Structure 1
Amino acid sequence: MAPAPVTVPGTPAATAPVTVPGLTQAPVAATDWRERMATAMQQLEALQRTEVGVYVLDLASGQSFGHRAEERWYLASMVKVPVAIAVLQAVERSDITLDTPLTLRAADKVDGAGATLRQPVGSALTVRWLMGQMIIYSDNTATDMLMNLVGLQAVNGVVKALAPQGIGRITTLAEVRRQVYGQLTPQASHLSGHDLVLLQRAGSDAERRRRLAELLHLPPGEIKARSLDGAYDAYYAEGLNSGRLDAYAGILTALVQGKALHPDSMQTLLKLMEDVATGPQRLRAGLPPQARFAHKTGTQRRRICDAGLVRMPGTDAQHPVVLVACVRDAPTLPRAEHLLQQTAAALCRSGLLTQGLNDAPTCPAFLPDDRHGAAAAQLAR
Structure 2
Amino acid sequence: MAALLAAMWLAGLLLASPALAGPAWGPALAAELAALEAEGHDEIGLHVRELGTGGERFGWRDDETWYLASLVKLPVAVELLARREAGALSLDETLVLRESDYVDGAGPTNWAEPGTTLTLRELLEPMLTESDNTATDLLIARLGLATVNRRAERLSGSGLGPITTLLEVRREAYGWLHPGARALTGMDFIALRRVEEDEARLDALAERLGVPSSDLALPSLDAAFAAYYASGLNAGRLDAFGALLAAIGEGRALGPAATAELLTIMTRTTSGEARLKAGLGHEIRFAHKTGTQHRRSCDAGIAAHGEGSAERRWVLVACTRGERDTERSEATLRELGRALRQSGVFGPES
Cα offsets for 1:15-39 (capped at 9, x unmatched): xxxxxxxxxxxxxx97521121112
In structure 1, the residue matched to 2:57 is 64
CA contact (8 A) 1:256 1:318 kept: no
Unaligned runs of 5+ in 1: 1-6, 15-28, 362-381
Q: 1:351 aligns with which of 338, 344, 349?
A: 344
Q: 1:244 aligns with which of 230, 237, 256?
A: 237
Q: How much has 1:8 moved relative to structure 2? A: 6.8
CA distance in 1, matches of 2:37, 2:29: 12
The one-letter amino acid paired with 1:120 is E
Q: How much has 1:184 moved relative to structure 2? A: 0.5
CA contact (8 A) 2:10 2:27 kept: no
CA distance in 1, matches of 2:310, 2:227: 41
Q: 2:297 aligns with which of 278, 291, 304?
A: 304
Q: Does 1:45 align with 2:16?
A: no
CA distance in 2, matches of 1:101, 1:8: 56
In structure 2, the residue matched to 1:36 is 28
Q: How much has 1:94 moved relative to structure 2? A: 1.9
In structure 2, the residue matched to 1:170 is 163
CA distance in 1, matches of 2:8, 2:233: 31
CA distance in 2, matches of 1:142, 1:54: 28
In structure 1, the residue matched to 2:276 is 283
CA contact (8 A) 1:113 1:138 kept: yes
SS in 1 for 2:44: strand
CA distance in 2, matches of 1:101, 1:192: 23
CA distance in 2, matches of 1:259, 1:318: 19
Distance 1:318 1:169, change over 3 A: farther
In structure 2, the residue matched to 1:273 is 266
Q: How much has 1:224 moved relative to structure 2? A: 2.2
In structure 2, the residue matched to 1:25 is none
Q: How much has 1:288 moved relative to structure 2? A: 2.2
CA contact (8 A) 1:303 1:326 kept: yes
Q: How much has 1:256 moved relative to structure 2? A: 1.0
CA distance in 1, matches of 2:115, 2:91: 19
Distance 1:32 1:272, change over 3 A: same
In structure 2, the residue matched to 1:113 is 106
Q: Does 1:222 align with 2:215?
A: yes
CA distance in 2, matches of 1:30, 1:132: 37
SS in 1 for 2:55: coil
CA contact (8 A) 1:257 1:318 kept: no
Q: Does 1:55 align with 2:47?
A: yes
Unaligned runs of 5+ in 2: 1-6, 15-20
The one-letter amino acid paired with 2:38 is A
The one-letter amino acid paired with 1:53 is G
Distance 1:304 1:317, change over 3 A: farther
Q: Does 1:181 align with 2:174?
A: yes
Distance 1:178 1:206, change over 3 A: same
CA contact (8 A) 2:129 2:268 kept: yes
Q: How much has 1:176 moved relative to structure 2? A: 0.2
CA distance in 2, matches of 1:186, 1:310: 43
CA distance in 2, matches of 1:177, 1:331: 18
Q: For structure 1, which segment, 337-346 or 242-251, has the greater mean C-alpha deviation from structure 2 after superposition?
A: 337-346
The one-letter amino acid paired with 2:49 is L
CA distance in 1, matches of 2:106, 2:81: 23
CA distance in 2, matches of 1:239, 1:207: 28
In structure 2, the residue matched to 1:161 is 154
Q: How much has 1:287 moved relative to structure 2? A: 0.8
Q: Does 1:74 align with 2:67?
A: yes
Q: For structure 1, which segment, 34-43 or 236-245, has the greater mean C-alpha deviation from structure 2 after superposition?
A: 34-43
Q: How much has 1:205 moved relative to structure 2? A: 1.6
Number of residue pairs aligned between Structure 1 and Structure 2:
336
Distance 1:295 1:217, change over 3 A: same
Q: How much has 1:316 moved relative to structure 2? A: 5.1
Q: How much has 1:227 moved relative to structure 2? A: 0.3
SS in 1 for 2:222: helix
Q: 1:196 aligns with which of 180, 189, 197?
A: 189
SS in 2 for 1:320: strand
CA distance in 1, matches of 2:38, 2:199: 34
Q: How much has 1:41 moved relative to structure 2? A: 1.2
Distance 1:349 1:168, change over 3 A: same
CA contact (8 A) 1:283 1:306 kept: yes
CA distance in 1, matches of 2:305, 2:256: 20
Q: How much has 1:277 moved relative to structure 2? A: 0.3
Distance 1:318 1:161, change over 3 A: farther
Distance 1:50 1:10, change over 3 A: farther
Which protein is richer in helix relative to its size? 2
Q: Runs of 4 or more off by more than 3 Å in structure 1?
A: 7-11, 315-319
Q: Does 1:213 align with 2:244?
A: no
Distance 1:321 1:130, change over 3 A: same
Distance 1:182 1:193, change over 3 A: same
CA distance in 1, matches of 2:130, 2:146: 24
